Chains A and B, each alone.
Chain A
């Protein structure tokens, strides 16, 4: 009898644990492109930001991304704080001074003064309307929360989904945003995939290497839909759009932002798009979560405290109940 209770108790506990992990909307939407999980210095419970990587990421942001994207939630002082890029304070002070911020003078007139450590990064635009007029109607998103506002959809088989979710909980997987940013920045292709239509109207993808120059039978399709009783439908890329492997729908307004050698690193890191992308993804992750390192290090202390307390409580409970059972 007692054994049976144990089994059903364990089953009920298991079912509850599954209920907690198996119903996560962000992971379950499941229609985005497959994006690989990368190993980051800030992955998992023991992870922390690599300040050199954050410094390189900031360099990429400043020299490339900042032309179009703001980071309005980051103040200059954040660049000095522990757990971040930890630039020397004097350097950041003079960096801030190169930016201008609005201020009211004694006569009520708007004047501009050099930014201070306590100021936040000014937007590259006066307002949203200006941003849209410059970018063909699009508004480049602010990057200070982008790493949390993006994620990776689960694309594997349905039966593995609960296992994958449980794994994400146990490993503390929170780097979906960084993985997405890396995949996006490295996911540009010159063209949409090439297809050739056969006599029945069916579209078949062809390898880039097998295409002859000027081949008129090649179709470039962002997506292909099967239509019952009709030739396959090819959706061509819209004007002014770019093909990207990671972007949902594969058509992105932003042109390929960066190429090999564009940013000169001073610490010997290879100047490749892959490194730029990883460094920028790390920087964006920090910008979205500047207290990350503090959170994870405090976490261990809390967990350890709770573990020891629980063990002591368990021992006390055992001794107490010995006289009852």
Chain B
């Protein structure tokens, strides 16, 4: 099983660091997904013009 791992993952420290980074990235992605999914805005020039004209507009579904 270990032989199938890339070389650098044979080192215990490298495995720990890689695992820590992967876990952290997963937590960050999960947080963003949980609270911001479906809320993404893709403003174009017109959307920004509308925003500047009326910053208090209601949130679009």
* A in complex with B: no
